Amino acid sequence: MAIQTTIEVLYYGLMPYVANRNKQNYKDEFNSRKTHNQKFALQFFPKYINFDKWIKQPKQPYDILLLNYWIIEVPVKGVTYSKLIGNYQRENNGRINKRIKAEEKKRNQRER
């Protein structure tokens, strides 16, 4: 997977974590460029997203993979395709699937 595609996955996946007042600037800045490289990504995403805040309480269960990718893998490997990005795109992670099923089961038991 090319860096461009990985950056696009980050762009769309992290959009819910951008403050509403900054969302239009986020979209405009991203779309103002024809191509996106690693240097752009390293400056762009931290400008709009507070990773330290959202890593503790992601909005969706699979978003933890994307947040972990940014916090753990990007500083070491750079912006490149990895298993975390792949699992995020396919929503394929045994531990997260297990947790989601357990939460659904609890919710169903409470509703009865």
Model confidence pLDDT, tens digit, residues 80-107: 888 888 888 888 777 777 777 887 787 7
What are the tens digits of pLDDT across the range 9-49? 999 999 999 999 999 999 999 999 988 999 999 999 999 99
CA 51 to chain centre: 10
Other Cβ atoms within 10 Å of 91 Cβ, number: 13
**Alpha helix positions (H), 1-112:** 3-14, 23-31, 38-48, 51-54, 63-68, 74-77, 83-90, 94-111
**What's residue 11's pLDDT?**
94
Q: State pTM to two decimals.
A: 0.82
